[in-house]
Amino acid sequence: MSHTKGPWEVVKHKRFPFQLEVKSADGYICDMEGLSDDDMPTVDANARLIAAAPELYEALTDKRFGSTAGFLRKIAKQLEDEAQQVGEEWHSIYAPRLNAIADEMDAAIAKAEGRQ
C-alpha cells in the first residue's frame, strides 16, 4: 500500500480559527474544520486520529511476526494447547478474545487498504 509517509502532525490553520491541518514532512494531508469553538474538541480529536494513521497502520502490519494479528493468533493457539496439556481452563479463556481482536485488526487493515 502506498500512502504519504508518516509521521503526520496536526497544526492550527494560520488564517482560519476553526480549521486544523494534518501535515507530513512531505506536505499537506487534509483539513479538518468546525463552525465554532464548540466544534473544535471533536475536530481536534478527529484530526489527531487521522494524524496517527501511519503509525497505527505500521503497528498493525508489523512484519516481524508475520503481522500483529498473526502474532496474536499464535499466542491464542499456544494458550489453547497449554490448556489441553495442563488442564487449566484460564489458558483457554483468553484465546477466543485474542482471536477476535486479531479479526478486528485484519478488518481495519483491509479497510485501510481498500479491500473492504
Residue 1 lies inside a defined structural domain of this protein: no
Helical H runs in the chain? 40-51, 53-60, 68-86, 89-112
| Tens-place pLDDT, residues 68-78 | 899 999 999 98
Regarding pTM above 0.85, the answer is no
Whether residue 17 is preceded by a cis peptide bond, meaning omega within 30 degrees of 0, is no
> Is pLDDT larger for residue 1 or for residue 45?
45
Same domain assignment for residues 47 and 82: no
- What is the rounded CA–CA span in Å between residue 42 and residue 30? 16
> Is pLDDT larger for residue 65 or for residue 20?
20
Strand intervals (E) in 54-111:
none
DSSP character for 16? -
| Tens-place pLDDT, residues 27-72 | 999 999 998 889 999 999 999 999 999 999 988 888 776 788 999 9
Residue-range definition of the domain harbouring residue 105: 63-112
- What is the rounded CA–CA span in Å between residue 62 and residue 80? 24
Same domain assignment for residues 69 and 81: yes
The confidence score (pLDDT) of residue 55 equals: 93
Same domain assignment for residues 12 and 55: yes
Phi, psi of 66, rounded to the nearest 5 degrees: 90, -55
Same domain assignment for residues 54 and 75: no
- What is the rounded CA–CA span in Å between residue 11 and residue 27? 12
The confidence score (pLDDT) of residue 94 equals: 85
- Total domain count, the chain: 2
| Tens-place pLDDT, residues 90-110 | 666 888 899 999 999 999 999
